[in-house]
Structure 1
């Protein structure tokens, strides 16, 4: 999933970016409110980690602006000031959750996972498409109760497609969510990872759930998962 971190402390921003990327997230960083506003409005993020005290447009004002403009991306607000008033103000301005510095990184990731589950639509803790299951918290995947080993990027691609199961996703949409804002490589990297994913989750099980839709993109569909025995899942 793709996360925007708006944080003016470069050390904190880099640490959060590295940590979230290690968890399989694609992460973009903005160091001030103006850049954060532009990036939040121009890109389809799945969640935003927003520091309260940032230069330019502060966190409270930016959160309120995004909500007034109809941007309902889940927002986790960070602040160095641990007070009831700050927490209440952040939530009143449209933040979905609040975390005071210094914070536990484990808690930050857990709260982001919770926001992604709630989001604008109901998102269960464990994703299921047919007999394919994915647990974002433990980074584990199963097909028909057999665990499947995936790299971090393969896992991120599968998670995104499972959250949008049944939909045709273009290369551009996949790049927007699974790779970060600075990616300038060959868009055909998506084809490479889709092929790798098929080799892990479909071919060993005689399934065809990960489909190529000609001239449109890719779709993960439980209705087209067919095992070697011929039974539709």
Structure 2
């Protein structure tokens, strides 16, 4: 792959840790391992990883409590890898600042795909200058311009706001609350109906078949994901 990452695995289960290590080393990445929250925070400061794979069920501290400290101390991409399937847990992790959430048991190829996406789009300082191309859609964030098949697409301000937020994190789920706060403001973060109307409009304008969306993908009860593959 084009980018080689240093990956910090924070996981107390030895079997899962071995599985993660084998997968990421097979892809050519470097690995650092922690078995507790305290060790994970320490290695985050010392090793300065590009990606953190974080378990939530740690012996000394709930992993959810680590997300904000990690986010404040590092710009590493943070992917939660947890057996917790509850929608509220996923939403909480994303709202606290996690970049993605993968539920155990997981497919190692999907994990590696998530890491590749994280490394491909790890350019936070140049975020507003990026151009995202997916399928026949081109999104120019610097010039607030959207094209489909080379033709300009007119979007309402809210539609563009939602698309821009998703474009800044392609192939990563963005929660309903995150999108609503960013586009409508914190006072409207419970108005999922506003978001659904905007997404419906985007699909009508950008999807070949709005009834079978491939560009803006629904993560049931959690949020939306912009597919970078179109």
Structure-1-length-normalised TM-score: 0.50
Stretches of structure 1 lacking an aligned partner (at least 5 in a row): 125-233
Give 1:7's aligned residue: 11
Runs of 5+ unmatched residues, structure 2: 131-230
Structure 1: how far apart are the matches of 2:123 and 2:91?
Answer: 21
1:61 matched to 2:59? The reply is: no
Partner of 1:90: 93
Aligned to 2:34: 30
State how far apart, in whole Å, the 1-side matches of 2:72 and 2:32 are. 23
Work out the CA distance in 2 between the residues paired with 1:84 and 1:37: 26
Aligned residue in 2 for 1:39:
43
Kindly report structure 1 stretches of 4+ aligned residues shifted beyond 6 Å: none
How many residue pairs align between the two structures?
123
Q: 1:120/1:62 Cα in 2 relative to 1: closer, same or farther (>3 Å)?
A: farther
Secondary structure in 2 matching 1:16: helix
Please say if residues 3 and 46 of structure 1, whose CA atoms lie closer than 8 Å, have aligned partners that are also in contact: yes
Aligned to 2:205: none
Matched residues in 2 for 1:46 and 1:8: separation? 20
Larger radius of gyration: 1
CA positional deviation for 1:57: 2.6
Aligned residue among 108, 121, 146 for 1:105 = 108
**Cα distance, 1:52 vs structure 2:** 1.0
Residue 102 of structure 2 aligns to a residue in which SS? strand
Matches within 5 A, 1:131-142: none
Residue pair 1:5, 1:27 contacting (<8 A) in 2 also: yes
Task: Identify which of structures 1 and 2 has the higher relative contact order when contacts are C-alpha pairs closer than 8 Å and 6+ apart.
Answer: 1
Verify the 8 A CA contact 1:72 1:120 in the aligned structure 2. no
Please report the RMSD computed on the Cα atoms of aligned residues, expressed in angstroms: 1.7
SS for the counterpart of 1:88 is: helix
Separation in 1, partners of 2:71, 2:95: 11
TM-score (norm 2): 0.51
Give the whole-Å Cα distance in 2 for the aligned partners of 1:45 and 1:24: 15
> Cα offset for 1:31?
0.6
Q: Does residue 48 of structure 1 match 2:52?
A: yes
